[in-house]
Amino acid sequence: MARPDVTPAHGEKVTIEMIEAAIPFIEFLPYPVLWIGPEYQVRYVNAAGREVYGDGHDTCHRLTHGYERPCDAQGEDCPKIRASDLGVPVSVLHSHVTEQGNQIFMVLASPTENGDVIEFHIELTETVCRDALTNLYARTFFEQLVRRELSLLDRMKLSYALIFIDLDEFKQINDKNGHKAGDTALRMVGHTIMQFLRDSDLAGRWGGEEFCIFLPGSNRDNAAQVAQRLRDAIRDIRMEDPWTQVKMTASLGVFSTDQHYDFDKAVCNADLAMYRAKEQGRDRVA
């Protein structure tokens, strides 16, 4: 069933009267709908939302994420804040904690005239959030998952590590063998990375020939060992005919800490370590 259009024409904002008039219809929609007040308090949840999230008498971040603080305070893109600040409907990809476990939603948020927001939560399959070529998480969703994990690790003061991977001189594979060879190489690297993940680990394709792995609970030594084994495994990849002569190596940067839980800073540190590996001659871990 299509999402009801609660945004009036000609740029007018949704009014409280419009929402109240639409509730008898919204109540029976097959996906969660939340009406959220200015202080993140959930004013109303429809039947599908109550089935997915439970009792709606809470803040939206506690109800959908289990967060004590709002999403934007966790470094995540908050649909309520974006819709309120921009004054127009927005869509944001989110992973929510539901009665069935973690589920992926496209959150469509429309602002009202008084600062409230009406949100429609459209469930997506996990495949939508994976990179089609490597089957690793797409960057946007990978970031979403890691930011949530970091907020949990921060509460428990547990360590974590990031491994940033860049394939060395990858452009030469495309230039000499064509993009089909490059796609095959990336697919094989994605498969190789998956073999090294624990159930708790997350891996995403950062972009192009770059990848990022998140290792919750890992210290520097453990993460460095994983990175070394992964470097060896990438170097040992053998492509089939007609690209049997294609060889790959990777430069890997490792960052680990039990004190700082800022995702952007962690990525920056892992990225800097990866560039040190490049400067030191490639095909190595820094």
The set of catalytic residues is 209
For residues 32 and 46, give the distance between their C-alpha atoms in angstroms, rounded to a whole number: 6
Say whether 43 sits in a helix, a strand or coil.
strand
Beta bridge mates, 102? 97
For residues 80 and 68, give the distance between their C-alpha atoms in angstroms, rounded to a whole number: 16
For residues 185 and 52, give the distance between their C-alpha atoms in angstroms, rounded to a whole number: 40
Query: How far is C-alpha 141 from the geometric centre of its chain's CA atoms?
Result: 2
Distances (CA, A) of 192 to 11, 136, 184, 227, 237: 50, 11, 12, 12, 8
Question: Which of 145, 193, 202 lies closest to 166, judged by CA?
Answer: 193
For residues 35 and 100, give the distance between their C-alpha atoms in angstroms, rounded to a whole number: 22
What lies within 8 Å, CB to CB, of 10 at 6+ separation is none
How many other C-beta atoms lie within 10 A of the C-beta of residue 2? Answer: 5
Query: How far is C-alpha 21 from the geometric centre of its chain's CA atoms?
Result: 35
- What is the SS3 assignment for 178-199? CHHHHHHHHHHHHHHHHHCCCC
Q: What does DSSP assign to residue 127? A: G
